[in-house]
Amino acid sequence: MSDYSTLSHLECSRDGSTHDADRVQGVSPAGAPLLARYDLDRVAVTPKEIAGRPPDLWRYHEMLPVRDPAHVVTLGEGMTPLLDLPRAGARLGVPGLRMKDEGLVPTGAFKARGAAVGVSRAAELGVRGVAMPTNGNAGAAWASYAARAGLGALIAMPVDAPEITRRECVVAGAELYLVDGLIGDAGKIVAEAVPRRQGWQETSTLKEPYRIEGKKTMGYEIVEQLGWRAPDVILYPTGGGVGIIAIHKALKEMRELGWLSGDLPRLVAVQASGCAPIVDAFEAGSSESVAPPDPHTVAFGITVPKALGDFLVLDAVRDTGGTAVAVTDEELLAAEHALARDEGTWICPEGGACMAAVGKLRESGWLDGSEDVVVLNTGSGLIYPDTVAVDVPTLAKDGRIA
Ligand SMILES: *Cc1c(COP(=O)(O)O)cnc(C)c1O
C-alpha cells in the first residue's frame, strides 16, 4: 500500500470502537462523530521536508485520508498567512498577537478546507453526490468543490443565511433550497431526502469523518509557520466546533509524531452571546450543551444551537486548560471594524468575535499580555458586506472637496 495517506481506520469519538475507513461512513453506531486514525509511525516525512512542498494543505497528505493523489480535488486551499498584528496587539495589551487569516482561501471562508478533503475522499470512495444543511459558508464551499470533482451537490440553508452564499451555490450548479427555519430544520429535510438518492452521501457537520481532517490542517500550519512551535493560546470562533476539535486533534497528532513538544496551547472557544451553548456548558461544568431558546447573531457561521460534537469541543477546551467566552454582536462588530482600521484587513464577524474575546480575556487577566496568541479569522469580510454601513457624501460632477 502506498503511504501517500497513512489512514488506518475510523474510531468512534464516544466509545472508541473501530470502523472501516474504506467504505462510506456517517456517524458511529453510537450516533457520535467518527474520527480518522492514522499509522503515524509509518509517516516518513520530516518537518524539514514538508517545508519544500507546494503551499497548500495537501503538504500534510500523510496525515490526510485521501489514498491516491489522483483523487485530490483542489482549488489551491491552505497555507494562509499567519499575520503579526502589531497595532491591534498594542491596543489590546497583547503584543504577541497574531491572526491566521482564512479570508484568503477559495470561497472566502475556511470551510474550503473541510470541503476539499471531504469531497476528495467522498469521490475516492465512489460517492456521486453530497447533500447538506448549512448556515451558508459550508454550502458554498461544498458546492464549489463538488463542481470541481464532478459530483452533485444538494444544499439547504435558512432563508436568513447570507445572500452571497446562495449565489455561490447557484453559480457552482448546486441544487439549492432555502428553508423557512434554522439549520436544524434544513438538516431534517436533507436527512429525509438523501436515502432516496442512490450513491449520495449526507455530509452534515460531523456526520461524515473527513471534514474535520481538512480543518485540522489549520493546526498543522500554525505550528509549521511558527517554526514547529505551538503558540500559548489559540482562539477559535465556535459554531459546530469542527475547527477547534480539529486543531486539538492536529496538535495531538503532531505530538505523537514527535514534531511538537511541551504543553498544548490553551484552546479558547469563542461564541456570540445570542447563541452561546458551549460557553454556558463550560461555565456550568457540564460535558454537553443545551440549545438556547432563541439563537441569533450577525455572526451567522457560529449560529449553531446544538452541535453534535459539543462534548468534543468541551474536551478540547478543558484538556488544554483553555476557556470559553461569549461576546455581544456589538462587541464583535466593533472589533471587526477596529481591526480593519488598525491593520487593513477586513475580517468576518466570527473573526471579530475572537478579536473582541482577546480584549475581554486581557481585561479579566486570563491573558497577562506575555503570551503568544493566535486568533483564527475564519473568513473574509467581503462575504459580509452588510456589516459595514457606508454613509459618505456624493459629490456633483463638478463638486469640490473642502
Ligand atoms: C462555519 C463557520 C464557523 C464555525 O465553524 P465550526 O468549525 O463549525 O465551529 C466560524 N466562522 C465562519 C466564517 C464559518 O463559516
Residue range 291-318, pLDDT digits in tens: 999 999 999 999 999 999 999 999 999 9
pLDDT of residue 402: 87
For 202-237, write each residue's pLDDT tens digit: 999 999 999 999 999 999 999 999 999 999 999 999
Distance CA 25, CA 207 (A): 8
Q: What is the mean pLDDT of residues 122-147?
A: 97
Bridge-based pairing state of the strands 82-84 and 34-38: unpaired
**Spatial contact of 155 and 178, defined as CB atoms under 8 Å apart:** no
Distance between Cα 1 and ligand 1 center (Å): 35
Distance CA 67, CA 81 (A): 28
Domains in the chain: boundaries: 82-109+212-387
For 267-289, write each residue's pLDDT tens digit: 999 999 999 999 999 999 999 99
Which of 99, 101, 111, 213 to mutate to test ligand 1, by most ligand atoms within 8 A of the CB atom?
111
Give the binding-site residues of ligand 1, using a 6 Å CB cut-off.
109, 111, 137-138, 205, 237-243, 301-302, 348, 350, 378-379
Q: What number does CATH give the domain 82-109+212-387?
A: 3.40.50.1100
Specify the amino acid at residue 304: V
pLDDT of residue 267: 98
Helices 111-124 & 211-225 angle (0-180, nearest 10):
130
Q: Which of 221, 37, 23, 10 is nearest to 124 (CA)?
A: 23
Radius of gyration of the CA atoms of the chain, in A: 20
CB within 8 Å of 270: residues ≥ 6 apart: 235, 236, 237, 238, 302, 324, 325, 326, 327, 353, 354, 357
Average pLDDT score, the chain:
97
pLDDT confidence tier of residue 182, bands split at 50, 70 and 90: confident
Distance CA 393, CA 357 (A): 34
**Spatial contact of 324 and 302, defined as CB atoms under 8 Å apart:** no
pLDDT confidence tier of residue 3, bands split at 50, 70 and 90: confident
Atom from ligand 1 closest to the CA of residue 349: 13
In the predicted model, is pLDDT for residue 87 greater than 70?
yes
In the predicted model, is pLDDT for residue 265 greater than 90?
yes
Distance between Cα 396 and ligand 1 center (Å): 43
**Spatial contact of 362 and 347, defined as CB atoms under 8 Å apart:** no
**Spatial contact of 182 and 188, defined as CB atoms under 8 Å apart:** no
Atom from ligand 1 closest to the CA of residue 205: 8
Distance CA 117, CA 71 (A): 10
pLDDT of residue 2: 67
Closest CA to ligand 1's atom 10:
301
**Spatial contact of 280 and 288, defined as CB atoms under 8 Å apart:** no
**Spatial contact of 250 and 234, defined as CB atoms under 8 Å apart:** no
Q: What percent of the chain has pLDDT over 90?
A: 97
CB within 8 Å of 299: residues ≥ 6 apart: 237, 272, 329, 332, 348, 349, 350, 352, 353
Q: How many other C-beta atoms can be found within 10 angstroms of the C-beta atom of residue 199?
A: 11
- With cell 429535510, the residue in question is 189
For 45-66, write each residue's pLDDT tens digit: 999 999 999 999 999 999 999 9
Cell numbers for 221, please give them.
Answer: 500550519
In the predicted model, is pLDDT for residue 1 greater than 60?
no
Helices (H) and strands (E) in the chain, counts: 12, 13
What strands, in cross-sheet order, belong to the sheet with 97-101?
82-84, 97-101, 373-377, 233-237, 266-272, 323-327
Closest CA to ligand 1's atom 1:
301
Helices 137-149 & 111-124 angle (0-180, nearest 10):
40
DSSP H helices in 226-257: 242-257
Strands in 109-211 per DSSP E: 129-133, 152-158, 175-179, 200-202
In the predicted model, is pLDDT for residue 357 greater than 60?
yes
Atom from ligand 1 closest to the CA of residue 350: 11
DSSP H helices in 262-398: 277-284, 310-319, 329-343, 349-364
Atom from ligand 1 closest to the CA of residue 102: 13
Q: What is the mean pLDDT of residues 157-165?
A: 93
